[in-house]
């Protein structure tokens, strides 16, 4: 691992008083991989043997149909846990692929399963990971159900900018095709949506990869709270 990746990993390693679940990935039980862009971390249909944690970079989870069509299920960045929702003795229902060069830690799924009954802190970490995954899936499904194309793109850009904590230009690691397959849109519709958002002065672009929100208060239509009573 190079110096930058090592520093990033050290920032993500919790102390013993923080989270035992996350500590498993950086312990002697964990494995660290440095991957190039487009590398496959896990293939759909592989036996579930490990759970992964993204240290740096971005990955995408993709589902492939028998006729070869691809659907991007989610994007995940540094700190994300991938694989806890997969069946312990089953197979992966998605592929996990590197969008950019990335560093990924992994730990045996059986180790986590064995530790959960005897350690409430690890159990709580697993529950938090699963709840976060469920919340993101619910929000995505709701967005797909109620928002038109340009608002899906704006909502995606807004959330990505929020995750990066930036009010200036943000570089998108994924291409228009990836965004379209995540939002259920064609690449052409994504490009037209970018143009419409730029023309309406809601975003500004710098080349094909960078954007910034021009009016943070001009948000996508608020989605209903799916957890409301």
Pick among 3.40.50.300, 2.60.120.10, 1.20.1260.10, 1.10.10.60: CATH of 3-136:
2.60.120.10
CATH class, 147-213 region: mainly alpha
Which pLDDT tens digit goes with each residue over 159-176?
999 988 877 899 999 999
Whether the domain at 3-136 and the domain at 147-213 fall into the same CATH topology: no
Selected residue with higher pLDDT from 198 and 2: 198
Selected residue with higher pLDDT from 35 and 14: 35
3-class DSSP assignment, residue 125 = helix
For the chain, which residues make up each domain, given as ranges? Answer: 3-136, 147-213
Please check whether residue 144 is in contact with residue 183, taking contact to mean a CB–CB distance below 8 angstroms: yes
Asked if residue 104 has pLDDT above 70, the reply is: yes
Tell me what percent of the chain is helix, strand and coil, each rounded to the nearest 5.
Answer: 40, 25, 35
Burial of 45 (0-12, 13-18, 19+ CB in 10 A): exposed
Average pLDDT over residues 34-52: 97
The H-assigned helical ranges of 78-175 are 109-115, 120-146, 149-164
């Amino acid at each position: 691992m190079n110096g930058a990746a090592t520093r990033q990993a050290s920032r993500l390693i919790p102390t013993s008083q923080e989270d035992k679940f996350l500590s498993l990935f950086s312990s002697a039980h964990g494995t660290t991989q440095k991957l190039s862009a487009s590398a496959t971390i896990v293939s759909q249909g592989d036996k579930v043997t490990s759970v992964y944690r993204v240290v740096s970079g971005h990955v995408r989870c993709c589902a492939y149909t028998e006729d070869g069509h691809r659907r991007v299920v989610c994007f995940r960045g540094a700190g994300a846990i991938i694989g806890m929702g997969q069946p312990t003795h089953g197979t992966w229902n998605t592929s996990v692929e590197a969008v950019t060069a990335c560093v990924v830690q992994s730990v045996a799924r059986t180790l986590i399963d064995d530790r959960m009954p005897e350690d409430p802190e690890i159990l709580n970490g697993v529950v938090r990971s699963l709840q976060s995954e469920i919340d993101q899936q619910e929000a995505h499904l709701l967005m797909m159900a109620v928002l038109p194309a340009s608002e899906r793109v704006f909502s995606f850009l807004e959330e990505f900018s929020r995750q990066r904590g930036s009010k200036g230009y943000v570089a998108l690691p994924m291409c228009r095709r990836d965004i379209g397959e995540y939002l259920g849109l064609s690449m052409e519709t994504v490009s037209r949506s970018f143009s419409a958002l730029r023309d309406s002065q809601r975003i500004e672009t710098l080349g094909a990869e960078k954007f910034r929100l021009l009016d943070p208060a001009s948000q996508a239509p608020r989605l209903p709270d799916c957890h409301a009573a």
